[in-house]
Structures are given as C-alpha cells and as structure tokens.
Amino acid sequence: MARVGAITWHSCGAILNVGFCRYAGQGQREVSLLRRMWNILRPGDVHMADSLMSNWTSIAMFKERGFELVSRLDKAHRKADFRKGTRLGKDDLIVYWCKPTSIRSIDCS
C-alpha cells in the first residue's frame, strides 16, 4: 500500500506535481508528503487544503514561503470566535493566531 498526493491547478484540473510514499510510518502522512512536493508552488500562489493543514505550524511555513492557504478549520484543535477578525461572508472569517508556546521547531514573529 502507498500514499499518493497531487498538487493540481484548480482552474483546469491539470496535475502539477505528484508524490508517493509508504502508507504508514514517520514522515509518511499527507502534510509531510505535501511539504516534499511544494517546490512547485511560487510566492503568491493560493493552496486549497482540507482541515489537516489548518494548524499553526503549517500556516507559518506557508506564510514564510509566500504562499496563501485556504482551508477549513480543524474544529478538534482550535475554536473560531466569529466576534473577532474580519468577516468575509457567512462562515468565512480572517483571523490572526498567536504562536502557541508548545511549538519550538519554528520561530516566526
């Protein structure tokens, strides 16, 4: 069994990059696979992802490289306070998150 991931161009469906890895084991999950393939992305590109990418570390790594990220909120780890931030529409909100104290592998200010 293997894990397969692809980066596609949303407007036409073209596959820009594809990656394969073992199905299980350290460094073999979807986020790790994406990090190995994101050399195809350029500053200013927008990546649409599922809620696996809506964590502080992934968002900080995307911003550091100049990418934008659109994803659903991982409701298990973070709550959205719709009284704060900039509302874009129903269930759409721009928020700013502070760096958690438990993250030591990344230093973004």
Q: Could you tell me the residue range of the domain that residue 31 belongs to?
A: 1-40
**Contact by Cβ (8 Å): 70, 46:** yes
Q: How many helices (H) and strands (E) does the chain have?
A: 2, 6
pLDDT value at residue 76: 62
Do residue 90 and residue 62 come from a single domain?
A: yes
Q: What spatial distance separates the first Cα and last Cα of the chain, rounded to whole Å?
A: 40
DSSP state of 53: G
Domains in the chain, number:
2
Do 69 and 101 belong to one domain?
Answer: yes
Residue 61 and residue 36 in one domain: no
Tens of each residue's pLDDT in the chain, 109 residues: 888 888 888 788 888 888 888 777 776 677 777 778 788 888 988 888 877 777 777 788 888 889 888 887 766 666 667 677 788 888 777 777 777 776 655 554 4
